[in-house]
Amino acid sequence: MSSSIIRRAVIARPALRCRTVVNSVRSYATPSNEEIDPQLNGYPQLPWKSRQELPPLGWQDPLYRRNFGDTLHEQEEVLSMWGPDVPPIAPNTAVRHFLIAAAGFVAFGFGVKYVLLQDAPVIRREYPYDGLVKELGGLEENKARIVNSLS
């Protein structure tokens, strides 16, 4: 007898807490100014909002963040808790941050190559007769650097 009283108290307590959530969650099923989708055939046209964005407490089924008997969205597999994660920042802000970071890496590379890197302490080897093309077999692939001779 005492276990049934405890069980009723445990079950009744979250249900009372969930009533305020039920009203706020179900309020989005009201008609909006959007065009009604004819493929839904009378099914409520719910807004595109992921379950991950809802508060974590106050649900009869906290794993899925929903109450029993709630109307499911037509795209529930995408908007459920197990769907793709909701990005923590807006996509345009993420692209801007990525471009700033990429520009920083490129600027660092150019800075190292052109400012911090010393010139070679030797003179590069130069070959006469059009880069030894004839001596290497006459192919353009074997051509070394062309000498700008003044003679």
Phi, psi of 61 (to 5 degrees): -120, 90
Task: Give percent helix, percent strand, percent coil of the chain, each to the nearest 5.
Answer: 50, 0, 50
Note the pLDDT of residue 24. Answer: 45
Q: How far is C-alpha 49 from the chain's CA centre?
A: 17
Average pLDDT for consecutive 10-residue bins of the chain (151 residues)?
Answer: 46 43 46 74 89 92 91 90 88 96 97 89 78 68 58 47
H or E stretch including 139? Answer: none
Measuring CA to CA, which residue among 146, 143, 147 is closest to residue 134? 143
CA distances from residue 83 to 28, 49, 52, 65 in whole angstroms, order as listed: 20, 12, 9, 13
What is the predicted pLDDT for the residue at 120?
A: 83
Q: Which one-letter amino acid corresponds to residue 25?
A: V
pLDDT score at 6: 46
Identify any residues that bridge with 66 across adjacent strands, giving them in sequence order: 61
Q: What is the pTM of this model?
A: 0.44
**What is the model's pLDDT at position 121?**
86
Whole-angstrom CA distances from 55 to 38, 51, 64 are 32, 9, 11
Q: Please, are residues 124 and 145 in contact by the beta-carbon 8 Å criterion?
A: yes
